[in-house]
Structure 1
Amino acid sequence: MKLHTRMLLLAATSAFAMPALAEESDAAEGEAEAEAEAVQSAAPARPPAEIFSTGMAKGRDRLDSATSTSALRGEEIDRFGPRPLGEVLRTMAGLRVATGIGEGNNNYTVRGLPLAAGGSKYMQFQEDGLPVLEFGDLFNVATDVYLRNDFTVGAIETIRGGSASTFASNSPGGIVNVISRTGEQVGGRAQVTAGLDFDEKRIDFDYGAKLGENTRMYIGGFYRQGEGPRDIGFTGVRGGQIKANITRTFEGGYVRAYFKLLDDRSPTFAPYAVNITGTDADPVIRSFPGFDLRRDSTLSGFLGPVITLDRNNQPVALPIATGQSAKSHSLGLEAQFELDGWTVTNRMRYAVNGGDFSRMFPNRQNTVSAFAASIGGAGSTAAYASGPLAGQAIPGGSAINGNGLLSLYFVSFVRARSLDNFTNDLRASKVWEVGGGKLTTTGGLYLATQELDTTWLHTAMIVDAAGGGRTAQVDIFNAAGQPQTLNGYFAFGRESSLFRRIFDVDYRVLAPYGSVNFHVGKLAVGGSLRYDTGRVRGQLFGADLGGGRQGLTSFDFNRDGTINPAERRTAFLPLDRPAPVDYDYGYLSYSAGVNYRVAESFSVFARYSRGARANADKILFTPIVDPLTGGVADGDREDAVTQIEGGFKLRRNGITVNGTVFHVEAEDKNVLNGAANATNRSYEAEGVELEGTFTRGVFNLMLAATYTQAKITEDRVGGVFTGREPRHQPDWVFVAVPQVDLGRFAAGANIVTITGSYAQDSNLLRMPGFTTVGAYVEYEPAENLRLTVSAQNLFDTLGIFEVNQASVPANGIGFARAANGRTVQASLRLAF
């Protein structure tokens, strides 16, 4: 482990160890006085417990647990106004979150684990203790697509490393658990919200009530509609969700039934045209005139529809406004009871998940003349194919929209027929009195099924770079005036047959697990094991399966009897040539830790863990899966993650400080852009996580800092990137959340800073770091009535999450994905 990493932890530990050791002395004196029948109040008070349960055998005080954890309560989340889950998680300690894509499909990781191809590969997202999807990084449909932040969220708990790998499948990096309210508080809330500088209207509500002495219920949800946080020229946001549950308590336990209905549409954003100049080490990244990277989008009411061949190779026209149209219907049952000294808990849920998911992503762009020539050869010209200027020629040297750019965008349209899953987690725990201490034993059995039935469809459009939701399609003509496109469509697929696919695969997971924890005096020692077995069966259809299969044809979409050049670039599915998927896997996960409570308010811990993540769709359509047998070699079926961590926890007099030093080793087999770019790598990372809260009277402050150094230790495909730093990995992430509460008036902010990181694994272009600020002010003009004005990215920062180019382009034209610009909204809430 690097010297400066050790020194950071040593300095942080030393700074807080002195008051803790002093308290230990006070505690010892208090015990002696008690034995001498002195005044009992002389001993220091034990700090109130902070019970944490996610990724553990049983809920326990964080000071008694050898884990790194964080939590946000619903009230803390609500104050900053309705916002996507990714924006909430950006303010939690230890997490690396890259947003700007939309409501879902954002990128999440922890402790330097690679952000290889989107979603959340190494961290499992749970809702009420069960996974939303068994795999968090499914292509185009990541877990957060089916999660929404609203009144129903009672808390969000995160565990980083630790026992996460043994108390959940496919979670070696950690767990994010969104915990629902269950009606403990009687009464309800209704809130209306409107964007002040963007178009979105929203209604939120919830209500909890007692149905009897031992029965309670809860219901809540939201509905919204509008253009969304960027200018797209149409209603991009429409829909909502309803969640409800009913709980019956009895001596020693409870039974709870719940359901969720989600039907919500939101736009998806992509890398867009950006001006990149300067040097690789110090690039200057700016929006082009006429297209603001913070609030504009290629999406427009002048585009589309998405014309292509469907799953059955029949012509279809799909709406460009689809965005992330997520649908989920789920039913769950949760029960806990005592049986002969054992606490038995069972959680079960069946979810029907589906929807359509469209997004635009760039291929290339240039000035009008240069772009036209790249499509139709020297002397080619361009003309508008849609919008108010349809049919009008575009002069070759003109600076249309103030930037003079044309782009080729691929439009991906993924139809998720089924991402249905069933999950059941049964566990039993018992506490035994052994040798003057308490031995907790836990055994469990996890069963899950996950369907993956999706179809990938594409089309390709040539568009301009117009802001304000005015993007239009453009036709290209060669020097002889012959069209090279059709009504702005360059192809009815991609340039090749790449990514024309059907996934029809079922996953079955069975995992027995168990743990022991012995707590005696100030010492707690524990360990846990889990053995995951998986059965993967199904078939794939696609032109990029290998073996010389072709997936391009010609199709007369406009029925004019002539095949246009764009119509010759039509992708189809070879439905008569399926490839099987047929393999099993099994792997052992284990974790062991020790926690020593030095004093009532101070503890130290250390832990070693090894877990893994079963590879799902990211290895399909790659050479890893044999296209003839569907088999996968033993070493390619899962990716292992090993973590060593140690740290301290302090909680005293309104001050909480947690520090963890970590070392992580990980494997990753993935696909970035087709089988030719599949990756097979080993990674290593180390760093420090620091988190603290300070509360004095009306003031509260949360601070967090994460330092990470990561590298690719082995690149098994070409070896080019061995020793390089992984892309999108900043050295530092800082979070600060100051708040003041004066009763009828409150205000606060969340400040997130990330330092620079490399755009690509080649380690040339270094993206600049940036800071975003969210804020709220809250006023209660009357009892039970609350007015809140909240903002995200208050100072309208141009924050770059992604740059497509590996180095500064010679012509200064690139693509980048940025944080959304400033959005301000006002909410009026009535409590009853």
Structure 2
Amino acid sequence: MTLKNKVGRALMRRTGNGCPSGRRVMEGHEMKNRHSRFVRATLLATAFIPAAVWAQDTQTPPAGPNATAEGPSSSADEADIIVTGTSVARAAFDTPLAVQALDEGTLARTQAAGNADILNTIPTIKADGGGGEVAANVFVRGLPSGGQYQFTPLMYDGIPVLSTFGLNSSAFDVYYRNDLGIERLEFVRGGVSNLFGPGSVAGLINFISKHGTEDFGGVAQIEVAERDRVRGDLAVSGPIGPNTFYSLSGYYRYDEGTLRTNLKTKGYQLRGNLRHEWSDGSGHVTLYGQWIDDQVQFFLPVPLNGTTRKRAPGNDGRRVNSVQNRFDSSLLGFNTPDGLFTSDINQGVKTRGGQIAIAFEKQFDGDWGINGRAKYSKYDHKFGLWSDGDGVINVPETLQSFVANRPALIGQTPSFTFVGGGTVPSGSLLFANRFTDRDRDADDFTAELNLTKKLTTGSVDHTFTLGGFYGNADAEDVNVTTTYLAEFNNRPRLVNLVVTNPTTGAQTVISRNGLLNAGAGYVNNRHQAERYAAYFADQMEGERVVFDIGGRVEHFSGDIRRERTATFVTDTTTPNLATALRDVIWGNGLFTTGKVSTTEWAVAAGFLYKATPELNFYINGSRGFFFPEIRSVTFNAAFQPQSFEAEIIKQVEFGAKYNNGPIELSGAFFYTKLDNRRQVLFVNDGAGGFTERVNLVSTRSYGLEFTANVELVRNLRFAGNITLQDAEYTAFDTTPAFIGKELERQPGLLYNAGLYYDDGALDASIFTNHTGDNFTAANNAIKLEAWNVVNLDAGYKFDLGGERKVRVGVNVFNLLNEDAVTEGSPRQDINQAAGGAYFVGRPVLPRRITARVTFNF
């Protein structure tokens, strides 16, 4: 029985006093709320239907906010057209925004595993991919974050994967994957880009899909990599009727793992879209769909050598790359008030579900237009989180030190044995660790509708936009933490421990079947968020100037339900059990509930001056906001939620863009100020469990950013970018001594640089991503040294006639096998120490060679 079902069954049996409690009561509230939300959502969705079927003559089709470009081309010209966060499609060169666009060729070169590999190539973004394919920790320049996508909505075709972050801590990329059906990526920030859709001053990450054309075509790819990775991809598109086109893509992948853990990565995703274009050229309507059934490994920090911070040897003398293993979950099961709990940790990060969406654009006579989109998604999601220590000692221990470090065991005679038989050798190292079963089902509805009007006043062309956005997200956060004892090795064996009192001869079972602490932590939360936004913008273009201005008002409301906990005695029959095996922290059936809400406004402007045909100057500024993560809301002694105020961000950027064909350059200065940030950190509670610590902070940052794309000789170009920043805390409520400290995990220097050759048959590229020195925590006590990850990609194309081509290629991630540490132990946070025998950190994933055969037809 799954964790969710176990908890659900228990709550149906239990009722409490005071706050609403019991699953039936809880479900009653939810059904009522969901019904009202469904009614509102349906009314909004029906607003799209008549607009989607209107067809009138017009001159040109519109390009609505976050709209996609026509056709599946990835040419340089089309890739330069930016349609994210604007009402009209523009060339990147002519927009007063900071813009990065990556075509499908660049995406193929850079994506060794997941989104982190891609996002790391974008200036201002630091993305930690040491955890594997999913749950990338995305950091945007000068903004304090615990990771994931806290400041940057992840969108596909202008549609957010989830409308609200912070209902739990799962990253957006656990719900959605890239495949060969992606045409390009756009990342924009500044100007009015933060007003449309879900909105974000920090930037919008938008992957844009291919759409079908009059010609049938596609691409198939097989990928084989070291350590038993096989992946197959297919993307096809074409016509299915007059003015109606389809595009389908998907993958299946099996992977034993970059790091050997006995855990498997396997699964598939299917995506597609169906587009109908009005015969008069006045617009189109597109239906999107996605289905995913996938599970992946996730790697967390491990004990490293305390001096060199390189991988440390285990008991067998081999370097320890991971402390995970496919344990027999029945051995680590334990009794609860609801019956036997059995972990699903071996399933890794598992997602099953999908989304369906509709998007349309329609232009009318008189230069009026309407466009919009609506989406519903539902996912069953589990996140098996392997931790980086037991929350008490956190580093490997000898048998003797394991006893000496625990006061209750001092003076006892220990007996360490392996589960399955055999005595643990006296010189062995042990590592007590935890894992957390996290059930995080989520569903989400979003809708956006825009009315546009084009007109000309004098020599200035205006595009006015009046629009609205609605989002309704609901997510579970059910966590059970288990502590176990194992040897310090790759794919370790579990260890039993029994101690004997030398005076009385009484025995106590400390670890049974490797289980050290049954139910070390328990969380049963449900958070729901509803967002209403209205915005306006005027995007003006003259012969030499571009000027954008607009504003947004948004109301946010949230419902919170959190079960309280108690300690239960669940095993009174097994003799000699330690308290940690006999007692379990579990839900008591009483719920703390609350509602929060707030309303905020944003205003943004951008100006661009065309000095010459090759040189533009721009400036943009904004006053925006982020809503606090609902999981950060605290309650007072009377179980009332504390204040819920928006986090205000102000920023300005000015720079220049130069483009004369073979040379493209840009440079900019930026300044960012964030106030009232509720920083949420998932940290140890000091007793072997976890807590979500909330710090109220303010920050400021400023810096420089440069990009270059230069054709050196025919078929060979250099491309790169660099970000220099200074970011520090200006307020820190829990620890004022941190004011003036640098932001953790935010380097002062980031750069990418590469050489790219392509003569139509042979292509080769070598590029590096540099991450500068950065601190592990806000106290700036531990610095991580800078590192470079060098990647190589090369291939040769065989022309089979017509549109048919085969490319045989090789990709090498981390060519020089860099072993740098990307993060310390976030769960230890400011309590992590340096200078000991071990340092807990997460290294860069090791070198991996991948061979690919790609067939275009």
For Structure 1 versus Structure 2, the TM-score category normalised by the shorter chain is 0.7 to 0.9
Displacement of 1:148 in angstroms is 1.3
Displacement of 1:225 in angstroms is 1.1
Find the counterpart in structure 2 of residue 812 from structure 1.
Answer: 837
Displacement of 1:308 in angstroms is 5.7
Out of 451, 458, 476, the position equivalent to 2:497 is: 476
3-state SS of paired residue (2:342) = strand
Is the contact made by 1:684 and 1:712 (CA closer than 8 Å) also made in structure 2?
A: yes
Is the contact made by 2:431 and 2:488 (CA closer than 8 Å) also made in structure 1?
A: yes
3-state SS of paired residue (2:608) = strand
Evaluate the alpha carbon distance shift between residue 426 and residue 48 of structure 1 in structure 2; reply closer, same or farther with a 3 A threshold.
Answer: closer
Percent of aligned positions that are identical: 21
Quick one: distance in 2 between partners of 1:660 and 1:338?
A: 36
3-state SS of paired residue (2:668) = strand
The letter of the residue matching 1:802 is: E
Out of 650, 658, 668, the position equivalent to 1:650 is: 658
1:342 aligns with 2:364: no
Under a length normalisation based on structure 2, what TM-score does the superposition of the two structures give? 0.83
Evaluate the alpha carbon distance shift between residue 627 and residue 430 of structure 1 in structure 2; reply closer, same or farther with a 3 A threshold.
Answer: farther
Find the counterpart in structure 1 of residue 401 from structure 2.
Answer: 370
Is the contact made by 1:294 and 1:818 (CA closer than 8 Å) also made in structure 2?
A: no
Quick one: distance in 2 between partners of 1:312 and 1:179?
A: 48
The letter of the residue matching 2:568 is: T
3-state SS of paired residue (2:198) = coil
Quick one: distance in 1 between partners of 2:332 and 2:311?
A: 30
Quick one: distance in 1 between partners of 2:193 and 2:348?
A: 33
The letter of the residue matching 1:556 is: D
Find the counterpart in structure 2 of residue 165 from structure 1.
Answer: 194
Displacement of 1:265 in angstroms is 0.4
Report matched runs for 1:516-595 at 5 Å: 516-543=538-565, 551-556=566-571, 560=574, 563-575=577-589, 577-595=590-608
Evaluate the alpha carbon distance shift between residue 378 and residue 510 of structure 1 in structure 2; reply closer, same or farther with a 3 A threshold.
Answer: same
The letter of the residue matching 1:237 is: T
1:803 aligns with 2:824: yes
Quick one: distance in 1 between partners of 2:716 and 2:564?
A: 58
Displacement of 1:648 in angstroms is 0.9
Report matched runs for 1:106-505 at 5 Å: 106-115=136-145, 117-169=146-198, 171-184=200-213, 186-195=216-225, 197-234=226-263, 236-250=264-278, 251-277=281-307, 284-290=308-314, 296-302=321-327, 304-305=329-330, 307=332, 313-340=338-365, 341-361=367-387, 362=389, 363=391, 364-368=394-398, 369-375=400-406, 376-379=409-412, 381=414, 383-386=416-419, 390-396=420-426, 398=427, 400=428, 404=429, 406-416=430-440, 418-467=441-490, 470-480=491-501, 482-494=508-520, 497=521, 500-505=522-527
3-state SS of paired residue (1:144) = helix
Displacement of 1:212 in angstroms is 2.7
Find the counterpart in structure 2 of residue 596 from structure 1.
Answer: 609
Is the contact made by 1:110 and 1:160 (CA closer than 8 Å) also made in structure 2?
A: no
Quick one: distance in 1 between partners of 2:464 and 2:807?
A: 47
Quick one: distance in 1 between partners of 2:765 and 2:269?
A: 28
Displacement of 1:145 in angstroms is 1.1
Out of 699, 723, 727, the position equivalent to 1:683 is: 699
Evaluate the alpha carbon distance shift between residue 830 and residue 327 of structure 1 in structure 2; reply closer, same or farther with a 3 A threshold.
Answer: same
Quick one: distance in 2 between partners of 1:434 and 1:294?
A: 70
Evaluate the alpha carbon distance shift between residue 483 and residue 311 of structure 1 in structure 2; reply closer, same or farther with a 3 A threshold.
Answer: closer
The letter of the residue matching 2:397 is: T
Evaluate the alpha carbon distance shift between residue 565 and residue 629 of structure 1 in structure 2; reply closer, same or farther with a 3 A threshold.
Answer: closer
Quick one: distance in 2 between partners of 1:592 and 1:569?
A: 59
The letter of the residue matching 2:484 is: M
Evaluate the alpha carbon distance shift between residue 420 and residue 697 of structure 1 in structure 2; reply closer, same or farther with a 3 A threshold.
Answer: same
Q: Provide structure 1 residue ranges, at least 5 long, that are not aligned to the other structure.
A: 1-46, 278-283, 544-550
Find the counterpart in structure 2 of residue 510 from structure 1.
Answer: 532
Is the contact made by 1:186 and 1:209 (CA closer than 8 Å) also made in structure 2?
A: yes
Is the contact made by 2:312 and 2:319 (CA closer than 8 Å) also made in structure 1?
A: no
Displacement of 1:208 in angstroms is 0.7
Find the counterpart in structure 2 of residue 91 from structure 1.
Answer: 121
Find the counterpart in structure 1 of residue 735 from structure 2.
Answer: 718
Displacement of 1:252 in angstroms is 1.1
The letter of the residue matching 1:796 is: N
3-state SS of paired residue (2:116) = helix
Q: Deviations over 1:161-181 (max 9, x none)?
A: 333321233522111111111
Is the contact made by 1:82 and 1:149 (CA closer than 8 Å) also made in structure 2?
A: no
Quick one: distance in 1 between partners of 2:84 and 2:464?
A: 17
Find the counterpart in structure 1 of residue 748 from structure 2.
Answer: 731
Aligned residues: 747
Quick one: distance in 2 between partners of 1:596 and 1:357?
A: 49
The letter of the residue matching 1:154 is: E
Quick one: distance in 1 between partners of 2:462 and 2:767?
A: 41
Quick one: distance in 1 between partners of 2:295 and 2:632?
A: 29
Quick one: distance in 1 between partners of 2:318 and 2:704?
A: 33
Evaluate the alpha carbon distance shift between residue 48 and residue 201 of structure 1 in structure 2; reply closer, same or farther with a 3 A threshold.
Answer: closer
The letter of the residue matching 2:414 is: T
Evaluate the alpha carbon distance shift between residue 560 and residue 753 of structure 1 in structure 2; reply closer, same or farther with a 3 A threshold.
Answer: same
Q: Provide structure 2 residue ranges, at least 5 long, that are not aligned to the other structure.
A: 1-76, 502-506, 684-689
Quick one: distance in 1 between partners of 2:372 and 2:125?
A: 29
The letter of the residue matching 1:461 is: Y
Displacement of 1:645 in angstroms is 0.9
RMSD: 2.4
The letter of the residue matching 1:829 is: T
Quick one: distance in 1 between partners of 2:326 and 2:375?
A: 39
Is the contact made by 1:309 and 1:572 (CA closer than 8 Å) also made in structure 2?
A: no
Evaluate the alpha carbon distance shift between residue 237 and residue 648 of structure 1 in structure 2; reply closer, same or farther with a 3 A threshold.
Answer: same
Q: Deviations over 1:146-196 (max 9, x none)?
A: 22121011111101333332123352211111111112463122211111x
Evaluate the alpha carbon distance shift between residue 542 and residue 652 of structure 1 in structure 2; reply closer, same or farther with a 3 A threshold.
Answer: farther
Is the contact made by 1:94 and 1:160 (CA closer than 8 Å) also made in structure 2?
A: no
Find the counterpart in structure 1 of residue 46 from structure 2.
Answer: none
Is the contact made by 1:356 and 1:414 (CA closer than 8 Å) also made in structure 2?
A: yes
1:665 aligns with 2:646: no
Evaluate the alpha carbon distance shift between residue 670 and residue 378 of structure 1 in structure 2; reply closer, same or farther with a 3 A threshold.
Answer: farther
1:631 aligns with 2:641: yes
Out of 114, 131, 146, the position equivalent to 1:101 is: 131
The letter of the residue matching 2:596 is: Y
Evaluate the alpha carbon distance shift between residue 294 and residue 453 of structure 1 in structure 2; reply closer, same or farther with a 3 A threshold.
Answer: farther
Evaluate the alpha carbon distance shift between residue 170 and residue 310 of structure 1 in structure 2; reply closer, same or farther with a 3 A threshold.
Answer: farther
Displacement of 1:627 in angstroms is 6.4
